[in-house]
Structure 1
C-alpha cells in the first residue's frame, strides 16, 4: 500500500522549497517587468468617504497582524504543475502537498524592508524549508517576501506614505458590501517587493476581505512575483482572518495560454484545542441532574471489552480534533453517518454501536476507520460530489467509500487498545501523524475491499456501483501525475499499487462503463473544493450550495484539479444559544427516575432495553446538492 512510512518523509515537509517550481530551461521563471510609468493610478480622485474608508483599512490591517501573531493555525498548500493537452487544453503533470502548523509570531517579520528591499525572492523561491515535524513543533522560518505576503498586504508599511490608492467600484462579495481600490507603491519609497494590485474593503468597518496582485513593485531590475488572490472570512465580530489564497502563473511562451502551475493554500484551526491537565481534577455540579447510578445495569465481559475499545477510539478522535486535523461535529457528518448506517441496514447487519462519520480536513484522497468512527478526507468527498438532478451519482460514490471502511469495522480490524490509556496520547499536536499510525495492513485492506463489494451488492445500493467505477477510471488516468494527492497522510488511500495504479476496490472499475473525456454528458469526477467549505475558526465543514454550471467543452470537467477561490462572504453571526425550557411544576413527582426494565420471566434478570428504531429502518437519504 502507499503510506508515508519513512521517518525522514514524516519529519520534514518542504513548504515552498527552492526548486519547487523550476523555470523552463533557458528562460527565467519570471519574464515580465513592471512598467514604472504605471505607478500613478489613473482612477478618479477619492471622495471624503473613500479616504475615510482607506484610513480605516490601514488601521484594521494592523489589528489583523496583531491577531495573527497570537495564533498557530494549520496551513496546507497543494500545488499542481501543468502541461498542455490536445483534448482539454492542459492537465496536471506533477503535484506537491505540504501540511504543517505555523507559529505566525515567528513568521511575521517587522524588519522586512529595513535592508533596502533588495531581496529578489519570489513567493515560492528561496524559502527555507517548512518544518512539518511530526515529533517537533512546526514553524515557518523564511523571509516575509514568501508565504506571509500572500496573507498580509504589507506587514510593515501599509500606509499612505508607501502606497497610493485609487477607487475602482463598489461590489458585493456574497452578502458583504465592499469598495474596490487599486493599490500601487509610491516611487522612491523602496517599492521593490511591496504590494501591487487591488483590495476589497468591506464598507461597514473598513476590513480588507480580499486582495490580489503580486509583489513586484515598480523597479524594472526586479522580475515579477507570482500572482495570487487572497481571501479572508469574518471569524469573530469585526475580525477577518486569512482563509485561502489561490496562486497561478501562465507560460508566456505557450500559444494556448497554458499555465505553468496553479496552487491553493488553506488556513484553519485558529482556535486549536489544547489538552488542559488541570481539567482532570475539576469537579462539576450538574444542576437539575438526578443520580441514577444505582439503577445502571452491570456490564458483561463482552460489553466491557467493547467499552474499552470505544474508550481508545474516543481518545484518538479527540486528539485528532485537538490537533486541528479533524472537523468539529457537523450536520453534514450526521448525513454521512446516516448513509453508513443505512448500508448496514440494507445488508441486515446490526452492530453493538452505531457508526459515526467525521471529516479529515486535508487534501489527500484517503479514509480510515477508528473503532466505529469512519473518517473521510475532505477532498475525497469533494471530488466524488458530481451534481445530478436526483443526486444518485454522489450518493453512489459516497456509499462506496463508506463501505470500504465499514467493512473494516465489520471484520474487526480495530485500533490498538493501548490508546485507551490517556498517557498514550500525551504528546504535542504536531506529533499526531507519527504517534498514531492508523492505516490498515495490506491483508486487511484486501479483505475489506472484498467485503465492501459484497455490501454494495444489496439491491438498494447496486445501482450506484457504476458511478464509483467511473470515478476510479478517471483517477487511474490522472494518478501518475497526482502522486501527492493519492498518497494518504494517516489512513488508507484508494490506490493499492503505485506502479500500475490499481485500486483496493479494483473490482468496481469494470462496473463503470467506458470513460470518455469528450462526452459532455459524462462526468466521472469534479475539481477539488467542489462541495465542502469549512469555518477556519470552528473547523466545522459546511456543504456548498453552488449554482449549476453546464459543461460546454471537455476542458470544463477539470477532474481532481486545483481551481480559483471564490468565497461567498458573510458577516459573523453568533451561534444561537439553545432555549432553556422552564422547570416543571413541583407536584410530588419531580426527581423521579425512570423505572428499570422489567425482569425476564424465565431468567429473573432485567431485560435489555428496546432496540433503537433507527437500527431497524433506514434513515431518509440525504437531499442532492442544490
Structure 2
C-alpha cells in the first residue's frame, strides 16, 4: 500500500447541478467554431423549483462550451445541499498469467458525502479523516495511505471550471443509452495550475449537462499522484443529473522508483432523497375519505394474550430498527427484490412444514460487503451478497441459515422496542447496532439449515452452493474487507466457512474452467436508484465467456449504465388531498 503525501492546491469551491432547462434543436453533426455571444447567466435555483424558460439552442461549438461551463457552475452551487452516502471498494491487483489481473488485497470505505461549508468526518467505519488538513469542502472517507484527495473528489470535474483554463476539442456525437451526447476532449492550458482535469467529457445535447467524464488531473505535484477515473451521472430529477458511479483503475503507476501500483475500485453514491421517505409524506398529507369507506383495520378486538404480547413487543423492536436503517440510507425500501427472496424462503418453509409466526420477511442492505443476518423475523441480505451468488440454490443456502436462527428462537434484543435507543448519529450505526450470534448459535443454525435444504427443491443443486463456499474460502485471504461484516456474522474465512458440510459434496474448484461458475463479479445482479434507494434485479442477456479471465469471481468491474432521461408522469390522485402540517 502506498503512503501518499499531498502538497497540491485543493479545490475550494463545490460542485452542484444546474436546474434550468435549455432547449435543444437540430444542429449540424460537427459544430462550427464561430464566435457567439455567451448566454445570459441564470441565478442558481433549488432542486425543487421550476426551471426558468429555456434559451435558444446553441448554434456553434463555442456556444456549446459556454453552456456546458454555465451548467457546471450550477452544479458547483447546488450540490452542497446534497448529502448522499458514498461507498468505495478497492481491490489491489496482481498479475496472473492465465487469469489476468486478480485481487491481492482490498480496502473498503463508507460515509456520508458532505460538500457544505466546513469539514466534518462522517465515516461510518471510524476511518481517521484528513479532510481538515487537505480537503476543506469534502468529508473524508479514505485513508491518506492510498489517495491524497480521496475517491469522493472524483464526482467533481473541476471546482473552477472556466474557459480560460482549458482547451476544448469536438470529437463526435455518440449515444450513451438513449441519450445523445456531444463528446469533447478537454485539456488544461499551459500554466493553468495543478489539479486540472484532463480527459474526455460527454455532454447530453438537450440541456448541455455533463453526464460522464473520463480521465485524471494534471499536472501532478512532485510528491503526489493523481489517479485515473471514469465518473458517471444519472438523470435523477427533471433536468438534474447527479453523481452515481465512479470507476477508478491503475495498472502501471510507478512510484518510489521501481514500485508499481495496480488496483481497481468502484465508488457508488445513493440516498439523495432520504428526507422524503414515504412515511414522512404520508404524515404531512391529509386524505379526505368518504365516511362509509372508513373501517377499523385491526385484526383483533381483544387484548393480546401473553405470547401474542411478547411477539408484538419483539415486532416493535424489529420495526423500529428497520425504520432507522432505512432512514439512514443503509436499507433499501421494500420492493420486488424482497419478494424474490421471500419466495425462496417460502419454498423452504413449505417443504419443511414450517409455520413461522410472525411471518418471515426479507430486506436488502445496500452495501457491498458480503453479510446476512436477522432482525427479529426479517432476514437481511447485503446487496454485495446478492450480486455474487451464482444461482438460486446458493441463495437458498444463505436464507436457510438465517431461517435456522429464527426457528431456533435467536431473537433481536428487545431494547429497541424503546425507540430512544435508536437516537444516535448516523455515523455511529455500526458501533451501536449489531446482530451477530455466538459460535454455538451459528453452529446450531448451520445444522438446522442443512436439514431445511435436504427437504427443499434445492437438494439436488447443493453442490453449487458448496462450490460458492469453496471459492469464498479460496479468495478470503485477499478479500478481507469484502467478507468483513459490519452488522451481522462473518460468512467465511480462510480457515472456516458457514455451512461447511456443503463443502463435502462440492466439486474441486478450478478457476481455469470457463464452464465452472463459482461466484459472480460485484454489481451484476442488483440495480440501485440513487435518488429513492429502490432496487431491482438487472435484466441482461447471458454472455458467453471466452476465457477464464472473464469469470472474475468477487471482483470489481467498470460501470457502463444505460443512460435515460427521467420522464415526468404525475399520477392522478385517487382521493382529494390537502397537503399541510398535521397538528
Give me the TM-score of the superposition, normalised by structure 2: 0.80
Show the counterpart of 2:272.
270
Partners in 2 of 1:44 and 1:576 — Cα distance?
A: 36
Query: Any idea what SS the aligned residue of 1:379 has?
Result: helix
Is 1:155 the counterpart of 2:167? The answer is: no
Is 1:522 the counterpart of 2:522? The answer is: no
323-332 or 311-320: bigger deviation: 323-332
Partners in 2 of 1:98 and 1:222 — Cα distance?
A: 24
Shift of residue 67, structure 1, vs aligned partner: 2.6
Q: Is the 8 A contact 2:331 2:363 kept in 1?
A: yes
Partners in 1 of 2:155 and 2:118 — Cα distance?
A: 12
Change (3 A) 1:363 1:282: closer
Q: Deviations over 1:476-533 (max 9, x none)?
A: 11110000001101112211xx4x4311211111222111112111111111111112
Higher relative contact order (CA 8 A, sep 6+): 1
Partners in 1 of 2:279 and 2:472 — Cα distance?
A: 45
Change (3 A) 1:469 1:281: closer
Partners in 2 of 1:222 and 1:381 — Cα distance?
A: 41
Show the counterpart of 1:478.
475
Partners in 2 of 1:212 and 1:169 — Cα distance?
A: 15
Is 1:571 the counterpart of 2:565? The answer is: yes
Structure 1: segments with no counterpart, 5+ residues: 1-19, 30-42, 109-128, 387-393, 583-626
Change (3 A) 1:549 1:494: same
Q: Is the 8 A contact 1:269 1:538 kept in 2?
A: yes
Show the counterpart of 1:304.
309
350-359 or 289-298: bigger deviation: 289-298
Show the counterpart of 1:167.
170
Change (3 A) 1:341 1:295: closer
Query: RMSD over aligned Cα, in angstroms?
Result: 3.3
Show the counterpart of 2:46.
none
Shift of residue 132, structure 1, vs aligned partner: 2.0
**Which is greater in Rg?**
1
Show the counterpart of 2:486.
489
Q: How does 1:606-621 map to 2 (within 5 A)?
A: none
Q: How does 1:131-280 map to 2 (within 5 A)?
A: 131-132=122-123, 140-141=131-132, 142-143=134-135, 146-147=149-150, 148-156=152-160, 158-190=161-193, 192-217=194-219, 225-251=226-252, 260-273=262-275
Show the counterpart of 2:55.
none
Q: Deviations over 1:566-603 (max 9, x none)?
A: 11111113466376389xxxxxxxxxxxxxxxxxxxxx
Is 1:93 the counterpart of 2:107? The answer is: no
Change (3 A) 1:103 1:197: same
360-369 or 131-140: bigger deviation: 131-140
Is 1:463 the counterpart of 2:460? The answer is: yes
Show the counterpart of 2:529.
535
Q: Deviations over 1:242-299 (max 9, x none)?
A: 1110111112689xxx971111111111122489999999896662342437984312
Show the counterpart of 1:440.
437
Q: Is the 8 A contact 1:106 1:139 kept in 2?
A: no
Change (3 A) 1:433 1:205: same
Partners in 1 of 2:410 and 2:298 — Cα distance?
A: 35
Q: Is the 8 A contact 2:234 2:563 kept in 1?
A: yes
Q: Deviations over 1:295-342 (max 9, x none)?
A: 843122211111111111000000000111111222111221222122
Partners in 1 of 2:91 and 2:527 — Cα distance?
A: 20
Q: Deviations over 1:357-395 (max 9, x none)?
A: 1111111100011111111111100011x3xxxxxxx11
Q: Is the 8 A contact 2:124 2:426 kept in 1?
A: no
Partners in 1 of 2:450 and 2:131 — Cα distance?
A: 44
Change (3 A) 1:295 1:172: closer
Q: Is the 8 A contact 1:243 1:268 kept in 2?
A: yes
Q: How does 1:16-95 map to 2 (within 5 A)?
A: 20-21=1-2, 46=33, 48-95=59-106
Partners in 1 of 2:309 and 2:534 — Cα distance?
A: 32
Give me the TM-score of the superposition, normalised by structure 1: 0.75
Query: Which of 500, 503, 506 lines up with 2:497 in the alignment?
Result: 503
Shift of residue 177, structure 1, vs aligned partner: 1.1
Q: Is the 8 A contact 1:132 1:139 kept in 2?
A: no
Structure 2: segments with no counterpart, 5+ residues: 7-29, 35-58, 139-147, 577-583
Is 1:409 the counterpart of 2:406? The answer is: yes
Partners in 1 of 2:467 and 2:126 — Cα distance?
A: 40
Partners in 2 of 1:537 and 1:290 — Cα distance?
A: 34
How many residue pairs align between the two structures?
510
Change (3 A) 1:215 1:410: same
Change (3 A) 1:22 1:138: closer
